[in-house]
Amino acid sequence: MNGEVFTIYFAGVDLGSTMTKIVILDEGERAVAAVVKHTGAEHRRLAGQVMQEALKNAGLTSDDIQYIVATGYGRINVPFADRHFTELTCHARGVSKLFPNVRLAIDIGGQDSKVLQIRHGKLLDFVMNDKCAAGTGRFLEILAGMLGLKVEDLGPLSLTAKNKAVLASPCTVFIQQEVALHLSNGIAIEEIVAGLHDIIAGKVAKMAKRLKVEPDVVFTGGVARNIGVVKALEENLGCKILVPEEPLLSGASGAALIGKEIVLKAMASGEILPRIERRFEDAKFFT
């Protein structure tokens, strides 16, 4: 129709090992929908349902989405994605959008931790830990359960500590024995939690120092919600740590931004991009 304006939308799907995140952006890069759900053992096939929820929240249909980019551990098997990119590439793009001067991005998720060196929105180098639970969100979940606490309560509790309990082992298995010993010796729980945060921060700081630590330093991932870990990282790195308003969405946002760039580049060159059928069937981690 004459005078009718059509808005183009782009979606990023970050199918992680513990959380599934989806962001829908319009052509002005405004987020019209953002959904975060637990991936969990019983929810590993819910990417399509999460996508449908995001579309409903945005008041859109699948036909309104021009391009979908998938990232994260489960990216290859998201059947409705047009392209797939590594989480490193998408995180670098998403963080750079929020913090244009970012030089170092630290991402601590449920199962791994990674440090990205970034310049002008591009990934230059990275260090990753996906072999050991220490330095990940899983580490905090295990110890919170042992202490009878909720994960979300760890950060505020640690800030009340007058001292940090000394915990020598970075291994999740052996550190549980140390925690039990500290408890039997009457060490305050908040001091133990502060010590646990320092274990994580110290491990990640060692990774970061293998690259070049310089501001701006941005912290993303679920653990970035923990103010105690943020403080411990600042102490270990000796600099201010910036945290996005929603630290879980950097990868999905970056994926959507990359999708937009692909479409605009194709439009400029006259290329017709193939369009994947929007089948919101179960996404599988293993084929």
Task: Give the global pTM.
Answer: 0.89
Burial category of 63 from C-beta neighbours within 10 Å (exposed 0-12, middle 13-18, buried 19 and up) = exposed
**pLDDT confidence band for 286 (50 / 70 / 90):** very low
Whole-Å CA distances, 253 to 91, 132, 220: 8, 27, 12
The per-residue pLDDT for range 188-237, each reduced to its tens digit, is 999 999 999 999 999 999 999 999 999 999 999 999 999 999 999 999 99
Please, what is the average pLDDT of the chain?
89
**pLDDT confidence band for 49 (50 / 70 / 90):** confident
Can you tell me whether residue 263 is helix, strand or coil?
Answer: helix
Q: Quick one: which of 284, 187, 256 has its CA closest to 23?
A: 256
Whether 263 shows a pLDDT value over 80: the answer reads yes
- Pairwise CA distance, residues 254 & 258, whole Å: 6
**pLDDT confidence band for 1 (50 / 70 / 90):** very low
**Residue of 244 and 168 predicted with greater confidence:** 244
Predicted local confidence at residue 259, as pLDDT: 97
- Pairwise CA distance, residues 91 & 102, whole Å: 12
**pLDDT confidence band for 169 (50 / 70 / 90):** low
Average pLDDT of the segment spanning 110-123: 90
**Residue of 119 and 129 predicted with greater confidence:** 119
Q: In the numeric block, which tokens belong to residue 281?
A: 């069937």
- Pairwise CA distance, residues 97 & 89, whole Å: 13
- Please tell me what DSSP assigns to residue 128: E
Q: Which domains does the chain have, with CATH numbers?
A: 9-91+249-269 (3.30.420.40), 100-242 (3.30.420.40)
Treating both helix axes as pointing N-terminal to C-terminal, what angle do 189-208 and 172-184 enclose, rounded to 10 degrees?
A: 150
